[in-house]
Amino acid sequence: MRYANVQTAIPGPNSEKALELWKTYEADKTGYQAQVAIESGKGAMLYDVDGNAFIDWTSGVLVTNIGHCHPALVEAVREASGKILNVYEYCNPYRANAAKDLVDAAPKHLDSCFFLTTGSEATDAAARIMKRFTNNYEIVSFFGGFHGRTLSTASLGGLKKTKKGMGPMVPGGIRVPYPYCYRCPVAAKKETCNMLCLSLLDDIVQANSSDALAGLIVEPYLGTAGFVFPPSGYLPMLEKWVREKKIPYTIDEVQSSYGRTGVMWASSREGLTPDIITIGKGIGSGVSVSALLMQKQMIDKALGKGELGSTYGGNPVSCAAVSAVLKVIREEKILKNAQTIGEIFRTRLAKLVDASPYVGDVRGIGLVYGIELVEDKKTKEPAPRLTSQLIDLCAQKGLLIGSVGVFGNVVRVAPPLVINEAQANESIDIMESCIKLLK
Ligand code: PMP
């Protein structure tokens, strides 16, 4: 049985109509994507308004971890929304239960949570907590880091596209290189580098800090900057550095948690014990909700009553979703599937490097991979034009992919974690055949 089924040239006539309407009335500032209007989704599949069926490698930017429109999630949202939509600061059972469920699923050292609405809000709140906790203001963050698009979160990030033309960012930020080994920031050889970038980090902080460090924020892998994974051992060494400085630190797991890397928390892969974990995306699997995980004593010391909140944070519908998603993850063994199917992706995608003159690097784990496209393997010149070509070619054959990367030249491989073996193999077949057509 084949899952992908595309009968029309993309965009089909109905998609064309919807796209025209959309682009006329809303300023489309999304990145380059396939020209389709999606009408529905189920599991790892998406369907457009022309009846075409696509295997999804985007999960709506790593959101729908338990699959599109999981019936248990849809039912939980339906049930809650029929009872109560918003009560802001009053306690409601959905919020209370979701908080317990989330803390039960959290790394053991974190005993408290707080609900917000978006990943950006969670980042902002984490920064505020670290500042108030230490009574200091300098936050260390990373080249290529992405923590949101608001001005304060863009300040913490290290990407031009969120900063260009914005003038001075929030003062006190110190940005340091991330170990992007394919394009090493210190041009070292991976085998012999001895984590040179980490000593550089220390030098940069020494040179820039006025001895007012409030904390550090880091992604366990750079998401938006191109699915860049640090070498194993880097993050524990970074944690050691943070502990020596006696500052708190936040791991931004907005996209890396909830099974994306094959385990619940990417930070637990190497036994990290961050003071705060920010989460979003997958925790609602399509419903807008984000949260902070931390120690109660930290938040209680940092902020007083009325100093953290958001109109839609902890709303009953989102919280019903949080509990439903966690239940599905447990009962349907979603993490196991991410590991098993992830192995198929890992082994088959790795072969693309030798199979194509344009695939410079493939990296990832579980169900998150980046395929970095270059014009030339020696010069490593980024090839964003090929990413766009590939997006169109794949869509025509029934596979939806997205692009990321500092240069926009990395294919985002992040299917819903419920993707089955046949869908995995069929979609990788499509990718293999389309990569051969690049020119
Ligand atoms: N942190 C990370 C690591 C992200 O990937 C994102 C979104 N791409 C955010 C924060 C911001 O989340 P949101 O778009 O929900 O504000």
284 lines ligand 1 (CB under 6 A): no
Q: Return the percentage of the chain with pLDDT > 90, whole number.
A: 97
Q: How far apart are CA 100 and CA 186, in angstroms?
A: 44
Beta strands in 223-340 (DSSP E): 249-252, 276-279, 290-294
User: Which residues are registered as beta bridge partners of 213?
Assistant: 138
CA 73/CA 328 separation, integer angstroms: 8
Give yes or no for a contact between 132 and 116, defined as CB atoms under 8 angstroms apart. no
Residue range 175-216, pLDDT digits in tens: 999 999 999 999 998 888 999 999 999 999 999 999 999 999
Ligand 1 centre to CA of 177 (Å) is 20
Q: How many CB atoms lie within 10 A of CB 395?
A: 24
Q: What's the CA-to-centroid distance between 144 and ligand 1, angstroms?
A: 13
How remote is the C-alpha of 162 from its chain's centroid? 16
400 pLDDT band, cuts 50/70/90, is very high
Q: How many A from CA of 126 to the centre of ligand 1?
A: 13
- Peptide bond before 11: cis, by omega within 30 degrees of 0? yes
Equal CATH topology for 13-66+334-435 and 71-331: no
pLDDT of residue 191: 83
pLDDT band of 29, cuts 50, 70, 90? confident
Mean pLDDT for 26-32 is 88
CA distances from 95 to 86, 245, 315, 439 (A): 11, 36, 7, 52
- In terms of Cβ atoms closer than 10 Å to its own Cβ (0-12, 13-18, 19+), residue 416 is buried
Of 117, 153, 221, 255, best ligand 1 pocket probe by most atoms within 8 Å of the beta carbon: 255
Tell me, using a 6 A CB cutoff, whether residue 147 lines ligand 1: yes
pLDDT at position 28 is 87
Q: Is the CB of 285 under 6 A from ligand 1?
A: no
Cβ(120) – ligand 1 distance below 6 Å: yes
Strands 138-142 and 213-218: parallel
Q: Residue 188 C-alpha to ligand 1 middle, in angstroms?
A: 30
Residue 16 tokens, joined: 């064309």
Residue 254 Cβ < 6 Å to ligand 1? yes
**What's the pLDDT score for residue 190?**
81
Residue 219 Cβ inside 6 Å of ligand 1? The answer reads yes
- The residue extents of the domains of the chain are 13-66+334-435, 71-331
The pLDDT assigned to 247 comes to 98
Please determine, for residue 31, whether its predicted confidence score (pLDDT) is greater than 90: no
Which H or E run includes 365?
A: strand 359-365
How far is the centre of ligand 1, averaged over its atoms, from the C-alpha of 172 (Å)? 21
Protein residue whose Cα sits closest to atom 10 of ligand 1: 147
Residue nearest to atom 13 of ligand 1 (CA): 119
The CATH fold assigned to 71-331 is Aspartate Aminotransferase; domain 2 (3.40.640)
pLDDT in tens, 80-119: 999 999 998 899 999 999 999 999 999 999 999 999 999 9
Q: What is the three-class DSSP state of 274? A: coil
Report d(CA 41, CA 212) in Å as an integer. 49
Query: Which pLDDT does position 107 carry in this prediction?
Result: 98
Question: pLDDT by residue (tens digit) across 280-336?
Answer: 999 999 999 999 999 999 999 999 999 999 999 999 999 999 999 999 999 999 999
Q: Is the CB of 282 under 6 A from ligand 1?
A: no
d(CA 416, CA 64): 6
pTM: predicted TM-score of the whole model, two decimal places: 0.97
Structure tokens at 275: 């003071």
The CATH architecture assigned to 13-66+334-435 reads Alpha-Beta Complex (3.90)
Residues in contact with 288: Cβ distance below 8 Å, sequence separation at least 6, in sequence order? 117, 118, 312, 318
3-state SS class at 18:
helix
Task: Give the tens place of pLDDT for each residue, 335-344.
Answer: 999 999 999 9
Neighbours of 121 (CB within 10 A): 23
Count of Cβ atoms closer than 10 Å to residue 236 Cβ: 13
> Quick check: 130 pLDDT over 90?
yes
Give me ligand 1 centre to Cα 51, in Å: 31
